[in-house]
Amino acid sequence: MNTLVNPLHPGLYIVATPIGNLGDLSPRAADILARADVIAVEDSRVTAGLLRHIGVKRHMTPYHDHNAEGVRPGLIARMATEAVALVSDAGTPLISDPGFKLVRDARAAGHLVVTIPGPCAAVAALTLAGLPTDRFLFAGFLPPKEKARADAIREIAALRATLVFYESGPRLAACLATLAAELGNRDAAVTREITKKFEEAVTGTLPTLAARYADAPPKGEIVIVVAPPGDAPPASDADADAALAEALTRLSTGQAASEVAKALGLDRKTLYARALALKA
């Protein structure tokens, strides 16, 4: 039990943590973490660094994809008499993590559930991208395999909304290539290392971004933001060449021409001739 003079009410406290810059931790979040009886964490090493930053030590227990089913009942039981804080390694819990089941079961058990809002990489990326924000869909991580990834993109391709995806550096090029093939010449942004020293937001069409990162996987946490359908400008010769150059790294000349023709709405025969010239 918490022995502080002003203990927290028993229950679940969902605490958003910084996505990079530790100075983004809110005073309220710091106060909750300092007074919680136990903190459920993805990685105790990451959260320990955050706690050192605010000068406190608290008991931590792992809660992540691999142990959630087994650990959840014990955490729910503790909420009857203790304040349990839930954090992710970075950002807002429940966004691309299993936290929603803990919230669901805590409510079903009649426990207090409180949110302490703060940083979220998806929302931060939207503010950097310069794309419409009045309506957007957060789609998380796309499947790693190409066919499954393409199928997932097709399911949401027609939505009149800006699309937001999470991705890793090693998988970025393949993801952008599939997005370009399925969504065409839409404007997009690749943001990474948000709030950190090397924060970057690179904008352009999907084909040009796919070509840019084809042989240069970046480091850091990455968010891809893609404009809604219908807003894409006509494809330029540079866009066509960039898309062809990327497609030729993984397809035959004819297949590359067909893929880019479909994605950009251009003539296949013309693209086939351009692809031959690029190969030469």
More confident residue, 274 or 80: 80
Using CA atoms, how far apart are residues 121 and 245, in angstroms rounded to an integer?
Answer: 31
| Structure tokens, 56 | 């406190």
Q: Is the pLDDT of residue 276 over 90?
A: no
Q: What is the pLDDT of residue 138?
A: 97
Q: What is the pLDDT of residue 231?
A: 54
In this prediction, residue 15 has a pLDDT band, given cuts at 50, 70 and 90, of: very high
Q: Is the pLDDT of residue 245 over 70?
A: yes
Using CA atoms, how far apart are residues 247 and 232, in angstroms rounded to an integer?
Answer: 20
Distances (CA, A) of 64 to 26, 47, 68, 273: 24, 13, 5, 51
In this prediction, residue 254 has a pLDDT band, given cuts at 50, 70 and 90, of: confident
233 neighbors 185 (Cβ within 8 angstroms): yes
Q: What is the pLDDT of residue 272?
A: 85
| Structure tokens, 122 | 């998806």
45 neighbors 62 (Cβ within 8 angstroms): no
Count of CB atoms situated within 10 Å of the CB of 192: 22
Which residues lie across from 40 on neighbouring strands? 61, 86
**What domains lie within the chain, and their CATH numbers?**
11-119 (3.40.1010.10), 122-233 (3.30.950.10)
Using CA atoms, how far apart are residues 207 and 241, in angstroms rounded to an integer?
Answer: 9
Report the pLDDT averaged over residues 153-172.
96
Q: Is the pLDDT of residue 232 over 90?
A: no
Q: What is the DSSP letter of 97?
A: S
Spatial CB neighbours of 256, under 8 Å, sequence gap ≥ 6: 244, 247, 248, 271, 275
* Tens digit of each residue's pLDDT (9 = 90 or more) over 177-208: 999 999 999 999 999 999 999 999 999 999 99
How much of the chain, in percent, has pLDDT values that exceed 70?
97
Q: What is the pLDDT of residue 233?
A: 63
| Structure tokens, 90 | 């970075």
Q: Is the pLDDT of residue 1 over 50?
A: no
Give every strand in the sheet of 11-15, ordered side by side: 60-62, 38-41, 83-86, 11-15, 113-116
How much of the chain, in percent, has pLDDT values that exceed 90?
75
227 neighbors 171 (Cβ within 8 angstroms): no
| Structure tokens, 81 | 């008499």
Q: What is the pLDDT of residue 244?
A: 85
Least confident of 4-13, 14-23, 87-96, 256-265: 256-265
Average pLDDT value for the chain: 92
